[in-house]
């Protein structure tokens, strides 16, 4: 954890160390907080209630399903660290602008996060491709595409989305189809409930690495 004095002078080496530590902490933090487990258990409980009335069983989740969900949570958490935490916690120094410091930090964070996900086998998971253009009445057509890509997901959240609401819509889209593509229209609402826990997780992680956020009224 950096002191306020250290936080006012972010060198490349300190930024690199902090970004790499955040990336390395993310998957263990997701596992420890059991965000994906809670998502699956909530989905299972809701699904059982509905399907039991029709004498049907809920869809069983595979190992690939679990990895796909972990990837989506990790990608969105990386986006939140880059968008919300880095700009608030990295103070400008005398040589570079604040934007340049944040851009440098985020570049290291993205590269290390990709390595972490690759080592964990998360980037071997295939993308779910689906067609929902006809709406619920027309049913959902889907197939598996190429491997998931952290770069593509972050590019979507940070560049193609127009504001926070658009990014949230993209996140719930990805989580809902990862959770159960056949029941996408029902799981989309469920996915939205897990945005706040992921935001809380990224703030707690940033506190561990950077220290309390003084710009938000935190105390050192």
Residue 215 to residues 18, 93, 121, Cα–Cα distance (Å): 18, 16, 37
Residue 118 domain-assigned (yes or no): yes
Residue 62 domain-assigned (yes or no): yes
Q: How high is the mean pLDDT of the chain?
A: 83
Question: Residue 95: CB partners within 8 Å, gap ≥ 6?
Answer: none
Q: Is the pLDDT of residue 98 over 60?
A: yes
Residue 25 pLDDT level (bands cut at 50, 70, 90):
very high
What pLDDT, on a 0 to 100 scale, did the predictor assign at position 220? Answer: 40
Mean pLDDT of 116-124: 96
The model carries a pTM of 0.85
Residue 183 domain-assigned (yes or no): yes
Q: Name the more confident of 25 and 99.
A: 25
Q: Name the more confident of 78 and 140.
A: 78
**Exposure on the CB side of residue 52, measured as CA atoms within 13 A:** 6
Q: Is the pLDDT of residue 48 over 70?
A: no
Q: What is the pLDDT of residues 192-205, one digit of tens each?
A: 888 999 999 999 99
Its domain, for residue 182, covers 4-122+150-216
Separation between Cα atoms, residue 178 and residue 166, nearest integer Å: 19
Residue 118 pLDDT level (bands cut at 50, 70, 90):
very high
Structural element, H or E, at residue 130: strand 126-131
Residue 143 domain-assigned (yes or no): no
What pLDDT, on a 0 to 100 scale, did the predictor assign at position 219? Answer: 42
How much of the chain, in percent, has pLDDT values that exceed 70? 80
Q: Name the more confident of 185 and 210.
A: 210
Residue 137 domain-assigned (yes or no): no
Residue 89 domain-assigned (yes or no): yes
According to the 3-state scheme, what is the secondary structure of 152-215? HHHHHHHHHCCCHHHHHHHHHHHHHHHHHHHHHHHHHHHHHCCHHHHHHHHHHHHHHHHCCCHH
Q: How many domains does the chain have?
A: 1
What pLDDT, on a 0 to 100 scale, did the predictor assign at position 153? Answer: 95
What pLDDT, on a 0 to 100 scale, did the predictor assign at position 202? Answer: 96
What pLDDT, on a 0 to 100 scale, did the predictor assign at position 18? Answer: 94
Residue 127 domain-assigned (yes or no): no
Mean pLDDT of 18-34: 96
Residue 11 domain-assigned (yes or no): yes
């Amino acid at each position: 954890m950096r002191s306020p004095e250290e936080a006012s002078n972010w060198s490349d080496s300190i930024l690199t160390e902090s970004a790499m530590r955040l990336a390395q902490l993310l998957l263990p933090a997701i596992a420890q907080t059991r965000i994906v487990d809670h998502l699956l258990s909530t989905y299972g409980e809701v699904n059982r209630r509905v399907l039991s009335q029709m004498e049907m069983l809920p869809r069983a989740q595979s190992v690939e399903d679990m990895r796909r969900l972990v990837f989506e949570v990790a990608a969105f958490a990386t986006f939140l660290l880059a968008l919300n935490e880095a700009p608030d916690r990295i103070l400008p120094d005398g040589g570079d602008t604040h934007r340049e410091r944040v851009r440098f930090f985020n570049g290291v964070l993205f590269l290390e996060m990709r390595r972490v996900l690759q080592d964990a086998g998360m980037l071997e998971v295939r993308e779910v491709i689906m067609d929902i253009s006809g709406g619920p009445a027309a049913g959902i057509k889907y197939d598996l595409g190429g491997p998931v890509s952290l770069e593509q997901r972050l590019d979507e959240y940070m560049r193609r989305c127009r504001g926070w609401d658009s990014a949230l819509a993209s996140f719930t889209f990805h989580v809902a189809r990862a959770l159960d593509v056949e029941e996408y229209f029902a799981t989309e609402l469920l996915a939205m409930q897990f945005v706040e826990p992921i935001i809380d997780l990224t703030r707690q992680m940033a506190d561990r690495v950077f220290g309390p956020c003084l710009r938000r009224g935190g105390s050192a």
